[in-house]
Amino acid sequence: MQGSGDAIITGSFANNTASTIAVTGAGSTFTTTSNLSINGGSAMNIAASGAVSSGTGAINIGTSGNGTATVDGSGSSFGGGQVFIGQAGNTGSLTFSDSASGAPQRDQRGRERQLGTSGTLTIQGGATVTGTNLTMANFLNTNTGSLTINGTGSKVTLLGASTATIGAASASAANLNVDAGGTFNSGTGTTTVNATGTVTIGLGGTFKANGNMTLNGQLTCDLNGNFILAAAKRLRSRTAATRLSALLKTIRLRRSM
């Protein structure tokens, strides 16, 4: 799809073959009125101000066979309803780069009871994504979910009272990494880092906890990273008091005003 071309699909659309859909150029759009699925080894590439939307329908990437999606360049956008990245033993990945933008309603990656599931979301090069609740690898199986926010101006913002759940009590692995000028803004709901969850704030990265935070997993912060806890909000550890005490000695805990 290019040269201001438009594809409007009434209902759901699924690409389940090893092929690529490209939406390129200002005015070029690909729109569904219900679920959009990128599976079966397929890919969707959005670039140069192209736009893809599933309306309020779900976006499924790597939920029935592997799938990938990339959104690149200023003016390029990808949005819709809930986003599921990696399910049923498959691998899914979604990358926003170079000032692209995304606005899903909810994001879930590596969230599946079946073994071998992997979901990856990467925000880089000044790209921005806004959405609601975030769930990463929260089932008790060997699934993985990762969110990486890298580069100056790169940002993920959870809106309103959104919550975030990172990891599970055992077996899975979930990693949220923010560095090199990237920013993660939580919603005002609780952010829960379970035992298999890890939050890493690297050099120049910023993690803003706008709601309460429960830490059962791991949170590390570079000396030149920033962990900011909103005014009147609490950071709690349900595992051991020494975990929280050690944490506060190794990060710069800042209160937003």
How confident is the model over 33-57, as pLDDT tens digits? 999 999 999 999 999 999 999 999 9
Q: What does the pLDDT look like over 94-115, one tens digit per residue?
A: 999 999 999 886 555 444 434 4
This prediction has a pTM of 0.91
Q: What does the pLDDT look like over 215-224, one tens digit per residue?
A: 999 999 888 9
d(CA 203, CA 14) in angstroms, rounded, equals 40
d(CA 187, CA 38) in angstroms, rounded, equals 28
- The parent domain of residue 233 ranges over 105-255
For residue 113, the model assigns a pLDDT of 39
Q: Does 246 score more than 70 pLDDT?
A: no
Read off the pLDDT of each residue in 5-27 and give the average, rounded to a whole number: 95
Residue 40 resides in a domain: no
For residue 56, the model assigns a pLDDT of 92
Read off the pLDDT of each residue in 229-250 and give the average, rounded to a whole number: 67
Q: Does 250 score more than 70 pLDDT?
A: no
Least confident of 4-18, 103-117, 166-180, 243-257: 243-257
| Average pLDDT value over all residues in the chain | 89
Residue 127 resides in a domain: yes
Residue 190 resides in a domain: yes
**pLDDT tier at 256 (50, 70, 90 boundaries)?**
low
Higher pLDDT, 252 or 5: 5
For residue 99, the model assigns a pLDDT of 97
Residue 128 resides in a domain: yes
Residue 165 resides in a domain: yes
Q: Does 253 score more than 90 pLDDT?
A: no
Residue 126 resides in a domain: yes
- To which residue do tokens 């077996």 refer? 171
For residue 24, the model assigns a pLDDT of 96
Residue 137 resides in a domain: yes
Residue 152 resides in a domain: yes
3-state secondary structure the chain: CECCCEEEECCCEEECCCCEEEEECCCCEEEECCCEEECCCEEEEEECCCEEECCCCCEEECCCCCEEEEEECCCCEEECCEEEECCCCCEEEEEEECCCEEECCEEEECCCCCCCCEEEEEEECCCEEEECCEEECCCCCCCEEEEEEECCCCEEEECCCCCEEECCCCCCEEEEEEECCCEEECCCCCEEECCCEEEEECCCCEEEECCCEEECCEEEECCCCEEEECCCCCEEECCCHHHHHHHHHHCCEEECC
- Number of structural domains (the chain) is 1
For residue 242, the model assigns a pLDDT of 37
